[in-house]
Amino acid sequence: MGRSAPPGAIEGPAAVTRRPARALDPAERLEYTSDMSLRGTGQGGALRRLREVFEVLGGAGLLSPRFLASLAPAMRKFGTTAATGIHAAASRDPEGTALVDDLGRLSFRELDRSTNAIARGLAAVGVGPGDGVGLFARNHRGFVQSQLALEKLGANTLLLNTGFAAPQLKEVCAREGTPVILYDEEFRPIVEGGAGELTRIVTWAESGAPETTLAELASSHDDSDLDPPAQQGRLTILTSGTTGTPKGAQRTLRRQGIDTFVGLFGRMPLRTGTRNLIVAPTFHSWGGFHLLMAAQLGCTIGLRRRFDPEETLAAIQEFQPQVLAVVPVMMQRILDLGPDVIGRYDTSSLEMVCASGSALPGELALRWMDTFGDNIFNFYGSTEVAQASIAMPDELRAAPGTAGRPPRGVTLRILDEAGREVATGTTGRIFVANETQFDGYTGGGNKEVIDGLMSSGDVGHLDENGLLFVDGRDDDMIVSGGENVFPREVEDLLSDHDDVVEAAVIGVPDPEFGQRLKGFVVLKQGAAADEAALKAHVKNNLARYKVPRDIVFLDALPRNPTGKVLKRNLS
């Protein structure tokens, strides 16, 4: 998917008919009481509410008899997995395009049958139900084939961060008990230094790999349908590790109730048959979520091995996706190309730009919508709590920086240190309950739970309209001279300055005040703002104690592969 059309590019009859994503009109949207009982905001009572529910699911194609007829038997075999969706689509539309990546096109039949053969090849080297396998790969067909094959076997998949160095890889694989690793050949030095004793299979070969490759497994084993595994496997996603070694968050893919799907599609109207370009890392929960949903909805999945802002615009023009899955820093880097470069590419196919993985500053959301249209859906959640809230485009226009509202099936409350709900507008800890939360950390332990609600690890507040605003991490709070400061507020204000690209704020020790604020700022090219000007900007808008004592200028903030700022690397 470079600047020339990739093999298998979708055009003509294979293209889906474009239409606006189905979302309930603001006057019709469903609202939920604190106990999650449904009440409509429009007229018509119970019949209207029932119709709205069916409109949401029908708009996504989930009530089509043909869709359900293919999905039900596949789900009985493989549960709520990506393998289920691809297997169902292969029976429904075998020659339809399942995936387009740097190597070209795979049909649903090709993807389904190749993963049958790969699963048998993995079984031949000893992988079975409940066995742990590490997946250390970028966004490409090998990642998808590996995950689907492991799901068909009922194996436990450990998604490994492609930014790992050898010591991190060794520590995580040892902790998670992973005897087999599937990896891209470019990571060979890291794998040899951190996982050299493991059984190794190459997912993306750069040259003549000495180990067996997925392609060899696919070509040398029977590709007929497999029997259901004796048990359904688990997926272990690593936390972002912004403050230390990543933890393993394990999740069993359960059968979700109708509330989960109605709530999700009511606020983020994904649907069947679209083209979905996933540039967020698939090893992370956000990219993985979009891979799962695209597979289950029978969408065509577009993947790129590496993110490049201009190449992403070129891919949008060529692939013509309706859905784009990104993390906010990717949006920032695309906008930084400037109007002249952006204007060279046709991005009019985009109906939904789904952002998550790190905070979406209000200024960034507005810039994006002013450039590409009102198409942002800002998803707030975490590896542990899964979905918490979703902000729709009109909400981001009205209240930039909001994380939106909890969808149906999610309970969200703001609690104080004693576990009591706080007043509207008051900052407290964010607690969430839903059907998709994780099962606990693989090394033991869990997030704090109060009355069935799990801590997201963040603090925030609800405004008078019920919109959520995330103010920062609950362990980020800085106490300076007896005053509580959450860095997010100062960071957002600095980022709003005309000369600033991005900013981060931390607390550093201070003999007089206990802690003081220290800012780190990346300026736009050619900008002239200095430390005094930025301090004055903060002082003119916030209380005096929120003004950073020092501001350091950097070329870029340190980030992990999903775009979160690594504050432990700032000092």
Find the distance separating the first CA and the last CA of the chain, reported in whole Å.
40
The alpha helices in 297-377, defined as continuous H runs, are 309-319, 328-335, 339-342, 362-372
The pLDDT value recorded for residue 509 is 86
Contact 192, 185 (CB under 8 A): no
The pLDDT of residue 274 is above 70:
yes
C-alpha–C-alpha distance, residues 129 and 126, integer Å = 10
If one compares 386 and 531, the residue with the highest pLDDT of the two is 531
Which run of H or E residues covers position 534? helix 531-539
pLDDT band at residue 314, thresholds of 50, 70 and 90?
very high
Measured CA to CA, the distance from residue 41 to residue 38 in angstroms comes to 10
Name the strand (E) or helix (H) holding 379.
strand 376-382
Q: How far apart are CA 307 and CA 560, in angstroms?
A: 13
Q: Say what the pTM is.
A: 0.81
Closest by CA to 115, choosing from 88, 138, 86, is 86
Return the SS3 of 559.
Answer: strand
Where do we find the tokens 């436990």? 156
5 has pLDDT over 90: no
Query: Which ranges in the chain are annotated with CATH 3.30.300.30?
Result: 478-569
Q: How many CB atoms lie within 10 A of CB 310?
A: 15
Listed residue (571, 77, 34, 53) closest to 265, CA to CA:
53
- The pLDDT confidence band at residue 26, using thresholds 50, 70 and 90, is very low
In terms of C-beta density within 10 A (0-12 exposed, 13-18 middle, 19 or more buried), how is residue 111 classed?
buried
* Residue bearing tokens 């043909």: 66
The two counts, helices (H) then strands (E), for the chain are 17, 27
What pLDDT, in 10s, does the model give residues 123-135? 999 999 999 999 9
Count the neighbouring beta carbons within 10 Å of the beta carbon of residue 37. Answer: 7
Would residue 401 be called left, alpha or beta, if left means φ above 0 and alpha means ψ between -120 and 50 degrees? left
Let me know if domain 478-569 sits in CATH 3.40.720.10.
no
Instruction: Indicate if the pLDDT at residue 388 is higher than 70.
Output: yes
- Report the mean per-residue pLDDT for the chain: 85
pLDDT at 430 over 60: yes
Is the per-residue pLDDT at 28 higher than 60?
no
Contact (CB, 8 A) for 100 and 302 = yes
Query: Is residue 378 classed as helix, strand or coil in its secondary structure?
Result: strand
Q: How confident is the model at residue 442 (pLDDT cuts 50, 70, 90)?
A: low
- State the residue for tokens 């206990």: 514
More confident residue, 166 or 21: 166
CB 138 within 8 Å of CB 306: yes
Tokens of 461: 């507040």
Dihedral of CA 260/267/353/276: which sign?
Answer: positive
Predicted confidence (pLDDT) per residue in 532-545, tens digit? 999 999 988 887 88
The confidence score (pLDDT) of residue 259 equals: 65
The confidence score (pLDDT) of residue 23 equals 42
Mode of pairing for the β-strands spanning 453-462 and 428-433: antiparallel
Pair 195, 211: CB distance under 8 Å: no
Q: Does domain 106-255 have CATH number 1.10.3720.10?
A: no
**Phi, psi values for residue 367, rounded to 5°:** -60, -40
118 or 483, higher pLDDT: 118
Tell me the pairing of strands 428-433 and 411-415.
antiparallel
- Considering the chain, tell me which residue range(s) the CATH 3.40.50.980 domain(s) occupy: 106-255
Which fold does the domain 256-408 belong to in CATH? Rossmann fold (3.40.50)
Distance between CA atoms of residues 280 and 301, nearest Å: 13
CB–CB of 110/137 below 8 Å? no
Distance CA 446, CA 148 (A): 28
Model confidence pLDDT, tens digit, residues 400-425: 999 999 998 899 999 998 999 999 99
Confidence of residue 257 (pLDDT cuts 50, 70, 90): low
Which segments of the chain belong to CATH 3.40.50.12780? Answer: 256-408
pLDDT in tens, 174-228: 988 899 999 999 999 999 999 989 999 999 998 776 889 999 999 999 999 999 9
Give me the amino acid identity at 18.
Answer: R
Q: Alpha helix locations (H) across 428-501?
A: 487-496
Greatest distance between any 2 Cα atoms in the chain: 71
Give the torsion through C-alpha atoms of 206, 208, 213, 217, to 10 deg: 130
Q: Distance between CA 407 and CA 381 in Å, rounded?
A: 12
Tell me which H or E stretch contains 433: strand 428-433
What is the C-alpha separation between 325 and 357, in angstroms, rounded?
10
